[in-house]
Every structure is written in structure tokens, then in C-alpha cells.
Amino acid sequence: MNEKDFKRYLTLYLDGELEGEEIVRFKEAVEETPAYRHQFQDEVKLHTLLREVVSEKIEERKISKTNPNVSRVRQPRPIPFATYIFSSVAAILIVGFYVGTYFINKPVPFGHCAQVPGEGAHVVMRDTKSIQLTKGLKLLPSDKIISEGAGGILISLNDGSTISLEKDTQVVLLDNEESDISLLKGEVLLEVSKRKVGKGPFKVKTTDSVLTVLGTVFSVKAKEDGFTKLDVYEGRVEVNRLRDSKKVQVTANQSVLSSDENLSIFSIGENKQSKVMTVLPTDDLSVENKRVKNDQYLKVVKSSRVIYLKFDVSGFGAVKKAVLYLTQKEDPGSGTLSFYLGDHTNWTENTRKSQGLPKRSLLLNRQTGSVMNNKTIEVDLSKGIKGDGVYTVIVTLNKSDAHDIWFSSKEGTHPPRLQLTR
């Protein structure tokens, strides 16, 4: 859809005159083109605000017509000064008590729903209650907003910021010191207003990252299994990846993927998501003298203990580069680590006996040196991992003067990771 057609469709949509296949085509254009999505969000917000102002003026006019000025009435006698003082104090105490009780017991609204589409199921989970999301509904801290099957929900926050929820999105309104919203899954487009003096920056928390807003307009996409994609249209946003505390600042017309090991910044128009993917092992264990160990550590010892890793690479296509990352935990060591491709993948980490585990076939790489506390090593395995499939990687330590090395397993704090690039 070209820009001229998009503007025509947008006008028809705002006027409620778009129907059938035209609605489908329009929404596809909004979802596929960041510039259209940004313009759509701005126009919807402006349209909503104008409708609210007009509605308020109409309501005021109705009230003025139904309550005309009454004739002049007799002036009441002056109230004695002492009585006036006593009554005023009593009234202040009574009103103060009820107002104080009201605000203590009732949370201050976080914002309100400015727009909600008619299609799909849209609810707010508040404590244990499920509330239908409707336009004008006051939203409170800790509310969980669930949009299923359709996008277009627009949330207006008290500070003037707006959040647009795309289809199949779940957001929790936090409004605390750590973050203002938690994006559980899906995609949101945010336009953040300038913060008041003394209030910290707006933050968005996903399953694997915390985003600190230093600018205004950006979108965030998150998956439940730990994947965050950030697109910044205006200003700056800082990304802090939780698992390794790595930080980058992303500026206008730039993107970043949390699954990218180096948090490399790229242009919004570049389809980086299809080029880089990080895979965690489906199974991992270590074997020492035929005894199988499956816990939070992967220990490799010269000639006696071996590490087995299994990775499922699906839906990625041809692999240009495959890099394995292992993080040392518990006990540092040194020596020559050898990395082999296993001759089969018919095993799981629940194996109790070493019989039947894969044997070494193709040598993929070797790395010699010391592995110190909390150090992450990276090993190129591109020689054996070429595309979609299931792979077994076997790690040994084979230098005569080597000391054992303990790595974190997938049950540990820093699981092994295989980063694929094409």
C-alpha cells in the first residue's frame, strides 16, 4: 500500500467507513510498515482527544439547557461569626476524614483506556477479577491488560504518555521504582511524555531486559521465552540485558535484538531477526567414569569427564556462522578443550547410564588456555552446524597437565548458548 492509499484508508477508518477486506488490508499495512504504524498511532490519539473535548462541550450545553437561571431569591440572614467558625471547622474535619479515607483505601488511577477495538477479547485482570476492557475504563497499578486476537488498544497514562497494544499482547501496569510497565508478550508502541522533576525515567521490563526511556517514541516486541526487539523512532532508549547486565543505547531509526550476543545495533529497515538467533540446549549432562551427572554444572576433566550438549536448530535455514558460549561457574581451570560433533542425537539428559550416548565424530574446534571465574568462552562450531537439524556437541579436556573446569548447565545461572548467523 502506497502512502496516498494509506492516508485515504486512515481517514475512512477514523470516520468508521472502512469495511470488510479494506479493514484487513489497512491493518496489514499498519502492522508491516513502522512509519504507517507510527502515523496511525498519532492520528488515533489526536482523534480520540478531539472526540473527548467535543463530548464534554455537548454535555456542558445539555446541562445549561436543563438548568436555566432561576429568579433572584431572598438573601439569607448573616450567620453569626462563632457559628460560622465552628461549622467550618467541623465541615473541614468531616470532609478531610472521608477524603483521606477514600484516597488511602482507593488506589490512584494509572491511566485510562482511550480506545479499544470491537473485535477480539480484551480484558483487564485486577486481583482475581476479570473486567471487560472498555473505552474510558480507569486503569490501576498492577492491572494486567490482555488483548487476544486483535490490536488497536490505546492506553492513555496520567503523565500524558500513551501505549498502543498490538494483537496478542499482555501488559502489566507497574508504576514503581523499577519500571512503569511489564511487557509479558506481544508488541507495544509507546510515546513517552517528559517526566516530572524528581520522577525517574520511564522503564519497560520484559522477560529478559529492562528498557530505560531517554527519548519519546519507540516500539517493543517481547516473547515469553526471553526475546526482546526494540525499534526507536525518536529519542533514545537504553537496553539492559538481565542475564549479563550488558547495556547499549539505541537512538532514532535504530533497532536491537536481545538474542544477539553482542547486542549489535542495526537500522530499523534491516530484517535482523531473520539473520541472528540464539538457541539454548534442549538437553545437557556430563559423564565421569560412566557415571551420569545432571545438575546445575557441566564439569569437564582430562580423560575422565565429558560434556554432552544437544541443540535443536529449527526454522532458521542455512547457517553462516555458529558460535557456542560457555560460562565458567564454581571452579576455574585450564587446558585444551576439544569440541566434537556427536554421531547421533538419540539421547536425553534423563539418561541414567552412559551406554548409548553419542561417540565423537567430527572435530569442530579446539581452544587452549585458562578459564577464570565467571569468564565466558566462545567457540566457533560452524564447521559442523550448517543449517536446520538436531546436533550433539561433545566437549573434552585433553591436555596432560590440565585442571578440571566447571561450566554452568542449562539449569544453572548462565546456560550454554548457541548463536546462529546467516
- Whether residue 125 sits in one domain with residue 251: yes
Residue 220 lies in a domain: yes
- Whether residue 227 sits in one domain with residue 308: no
Angle (CA) 355 361 362, round 5°: 150
- Whether residue 354 sits in one domain with residue 373: yes
- Whether residue 260 sits in one domain with residue 118: yes
Q: What is the pLDDT of residue 80?
A: 54
Q: How many domains does the chain have?
A: 2
Whether residue 358 contacts residue 384, with contact meaning beta carbons closer than 8 Å, is answered with: no
Residue 169 lies in a domain: yes
DSSP symbol at 200: P
The C-alpha atoms of residue 121 and residue 411 are separated, in whole angstroms, by: 36
The C-alpha atoms of residue 300 and residue 329 are separated, in whole angstroms, by: 12
pLDDT of the chain, 422 residues: tens digit per residue: 788 788 877 777 776 676 667 776 777 777 677 777 777 776 766 665 555 555 555 555 555 555 555 444 445 555 454 444 445 544 545 445 444 444 444 556 678 888 888 767 889 999 889 999 988 899 988 899 998 877 778 998 888 888 989 888 999 998 665 568 999 988 998 988 887 777 788 899 998 899 998 767 888 888 765 678 898 988 899 999 988 889 999 998 888 888 787 888 888 877 655 578 889 999 999 998 888 988 999 988 876 789 999 999 987 888 889 999 999 987 788 888 999 999 999 999 998 888 889 999 999 999 988 888 888 999 999 999 999 999 999 999 886 666 788 999 999 989 999 999 88
- Whether residue 249 sits in one domain with residue 126: yes
Q: What is the pLDDT of residue 273?
A: 55
Q: Could you list the residue range(s) of the whole structural domain that residue 134 is in?
A: 111-273
Residue 67 lies in a domain: no
- Whether residue 118 sits in one domain with residue 255: yes
- Whether residue 262 sits in one domain with residue 296: no
- Whether residue 296 sits in one domain with residue 248: no
DSSP symbol at 272: G
Identify the CATH number of the domain in which residue 312 sits: 2.60.120
Q: How far is CA 336 from CA 226, 325, 394, 410, in A?
A: 33, 16, 14, 23
Find the helix or strand (DSSP H, E) in which 247 lies.
strand 247-251
Residue 91 lies in a domain: no
Torsion sign (Cα): 157, 163, 168, 173: negative
Query: CA-based Rg of the chain, rounded to a whole angstrom?
Result: 30
The C-alpha atoms of residue 54 and residue 51 are separated, in whole angstroms, by: 5
Q: What is the pLDDT of residue 192?
A: 87
DSSP symbol at 17: -
Q: What is the pLDDT of residue 198?
A: 73
Residue 37 lies in a domain: no
394 burial (CB, 10 Å; 0-12 / 13-18 / 19+) is buried
- Whether residue 221 sits in one domain with residue 201: yes
Q: What is the pLDDT of residue 285?
A: 94
The C-alpha atoms of residue 393 and residue 361 are separated, in whole angstroms, by: 10
Cβ count within 10 A of residue 118? 7
Strands 389-397 and 305-313: antiparallel
The C-alpha atoms of residue 369 and residue 375 are separated, in whole angstroms, by: 12
Residues pairing with 223 in the sheet:
227
- Measure CA of the first residue to CA of the last residue in the chain; give whole Å: 30
The C-alpha atoms of residue 310 and residue 206 are separated, in whole angstroms, by: 27
- Whether residue 303 sits in one domain with residue 210: no
| CB < 8 Å & 24+ apart, contacts of 271-275 | 273/229, 274/422, 275/421, 275/422
